Structure 1
Amino acid sequence: MAVVLAVTALLVIPKWKAAINNGGQMPREPFRIAGNLYYVGTRDVTSFLLTGPAGHVLIDGGYPGTAPMILQNIATLGFHITDVKILLNSHGHFDHAGGLAALQQASGAQLWVSTGDADMVSSGGASPRNVAPLNWLVYIGLMKYPVPRVNHQFRDGAQISLGPIHLTAHVTAGHTPGCTTWAFPVQDGNRELLAVIVGSLSLPMPACLFDWKYDAALRHELERSFVMLRSLPADIYLSSHARPFSLKRKFEERTTANDPVASFIDRTGYLEDITKAEAAFRKALKEQQQ
């Protein structure tokens, strides 16, 4: 039996790893959201490009297998990957940090990662504070990703600038120890809009799996994150995944609207999603306590 299991693992694991290398992601047409802010990600896992005269900033690297899609999207828009000077990350999971190494190699950019997620990114997905089942998948190679070079670490509230581009890092921990929400002004015509890219508000792991528990530190991180996010005067609501901010619908709306930016100005949806995420957390916590 042990031999059969070993042989099965040897046959299945490489195929599984190949299948999850890009998470089934499909290309999405890149486009300008507002001002100097562009969408360059895939159908579901997002990446954003901020352009400027001193160079560009690229936020999130997608899966290991989707880096070529991001590179192609940047080129399709008429920009050069070598003009990307700063790489940023929402959090250190496989589907958002997996392509950073390839993007860094292509661009030569400096990578900034939060202190809380730096060990995860610099180890290809592992971290002592990561959820145990995810670490197990990393250790057997299924969710380990190519390791980028972390050039700089930052803490909550850090300001990162490149010429006229100015971003503020808000560490909204919970999904990962250093999960980061990025906020930055975008000048669109005669209006200045605050764009907010939420790192992730989903729970690290369903409480029913592996008898996993929310400890006091994690509860505190999540509760703090909900309060902090509500305090941001977000105009343009974005996220590390497309579905939370309804990218497909908003993209379709912009093609027929008199004001293409208007569909992405969605403070109501932003606040509603924070409320939904907090309700899911409270429900899981209540089930755990029972």
Structure 2
Amino acid sequence: MKENINVKLNNPRDLLIQGCERPWEVAVEPFKVAPHVYYVGNSWVGAYLIETSEGLILIDTTMHNQVYLVLESIRKLGFDPKDIKIILLSHAHYDHCGGLRPIKEYTGAKLYMGKEDEYFLTERPDLIYTEGYAFGSFKPDEYYDDNKSIILGDMTINTLHTPGHTPGTTSFFFDDKDEEGNVYHCGMHGGIGVNTLNDETIQSNGWPISMRDDFLNGLLKVRNMKIDIALGSHPNQTNMLALVDKITDTFNPFFDEFVWGKFIDGRIEMIKKIIETSKLSN
């Protein structure tokens, strides 16, 4: 019986299996999100290419078996992947870091990550959730520092430690300017999923339940930021793929100052419900 590849998958594990075993099913054409920001991820996991005056920055790498899709997307946009100078990792889950080793080796890029996630690589590889798929170990070149911007050419990226989804989850904020001088405030929350914060997962990970408060506090920190273009670490978080067909030379459907707040508010409600219904005690 022939498998129906058009079935819409929702379970993260099924999506991971699809992405690793049938990566062509999750392929999407790259597209421009902001004047110098491009989506080079797939239909499940986000990855973003940022063009600067001195090279490229890549945010997240998707999974090992999808590396060819990321590189092909970058080439389709007219860029050379070997011009990637910096890789920014949002958090150390396989769907975001699985392709990091081959891309880092191919490009020689400098890798930044949250120090608090490094023990996933050294002590708790089970928390990466590779599900047994190919994974190359890696080491960061530098850790994020909320008080130190990451600068490449004319692009400055500010980071903010927003733990919860993982201990080292980091969010990114930067301004992008078009040829007319218009400035767009861009933001990406590094890991918005509450699936790691339920009672069962908190206990199996050996995390303190204070991680939930950390997550909520991080959301409250960023809630009122002025963000013109919200980048989803997964595209469904901000409905990005549904907007692609609306892109024109004069209209950017991702420019919406209200998306960020609505998106963050939704997560605030979710984590508050988890905290309220938890059977664990401090």
Interval containing the TM-score (normalised by the shorter chain): 0.7 to 0.9
The answer to whether structure 1 residue 284 and structure 2 residue 274 are counterparts is yes
* Counterparts in 2 of 1:266 and 1:212: CA distance versus 1, 3 Å: farther
CA offsets, 1:223-244, max 9 Å, x none? 2211111132111011110001
Partner of 1:21: 20
* Counterparts in 2 of 1:53 and 1:155: CA distance versus 1, 3 Å: closer
**Identity of aligned pairs, percent?**
24
Structure 1: gaps (5+ residues): 1-16, 129-133
- TM-score, normalised to structure 1, is 0.81
Number of equivalences: 262
Match of 1:149 among 127, 133, 139: 139
Query: Partners in 1 of 2:86 and 2:216 — Cα distance?
Result: 30
Query: Partners in 1 of 2:145 and 2:259 — Cα distance?
Result: 27
Query: Partners in 2 of 1:234 and 1:67 — Cα distance?
Result: 29
Query: Partners in 1 of 2:28 and 2:139 — Cα distance?
Result: 28
* Counterparts in 2 of 1:18 and 1:273: CA distance versus 1, 3 Å: closer
Match of 2:191 among 182, 190, 200: 200
The answer to whether structure 1 residue 230 and structure 2 residue 223 are counterparts is yes
CA contact (8 A) 1:94 1:143 kept: no
* Counterparts in 2 of 1:250 and 1:49: CA distance versus 1, 3 Å: same
* Counterparts in 2 of 1:137 and 1:272: CA distance versus 1, 3 Å: closer
CA drift at 1:181: 0.9
SS in 2 for 1:196: strand
The answer to whether structure 1 residue 52 and structure 2 residue 44 are counterparts is no
CA contact (8 A) 1:186 1:194 kept: yes
CA drift at 1:249: 1.7
Partner of 1:38: 38
Query: Partners in 2 of 1:116 and 1:211 — Cα distance?
Result: 16
CA contact (8 A) 1:46 1:242 kept: yes
CA contact (8 A) 1:22 1:66 kept: no
Looking at CA atoms only, which structure, 1 or 2, has the larger radius of gyration? Answer: 1
CA offsets, 1:40-79, max 9 Å, x none? 1111211111112211101101011111100000011110
CA contact (8 A) 2:89 2:96 kept: yes
Partner of 1:218: 211
Task: Output the amino acid matched with 2:27.
Answer: P
CA drift at 1:143: 5.9
Matches within 5 A, 1:245-260: 245-255=238-248, 259-260=250-251
Structure 2: gaps (5+ residues): 1-15
CA contact (8 A) 2:93 2:128 kept: no
CA drift at 1:137: 5.4
Matches within 5 A, 1:161-172: 161-172=151-162
Matches within 5 A, 1:179-198: 179-188=169-178, 189-198=180-189
CA drift at 1:260: 2.7
* Counterparts in 2 of 1:170 and 1:23: CA distance versus 1, 3 Å: farther
Task: Output the amino acid matched with 2:66.
Answer: T
Match of 1:178 among 156, 161, 168: 168
CA drift at 1:206: 5.8
Aligned-residue RMSD, C-alpha: 2.6
CA drift at 1:114: 1.3
Query: Partners in 2 of 1:222 and 1:198 — Cα distance?
Result: 11
* Counterparts in 2 of 1:88 and 1:22: CA distance versus 1, 3 Å: farther
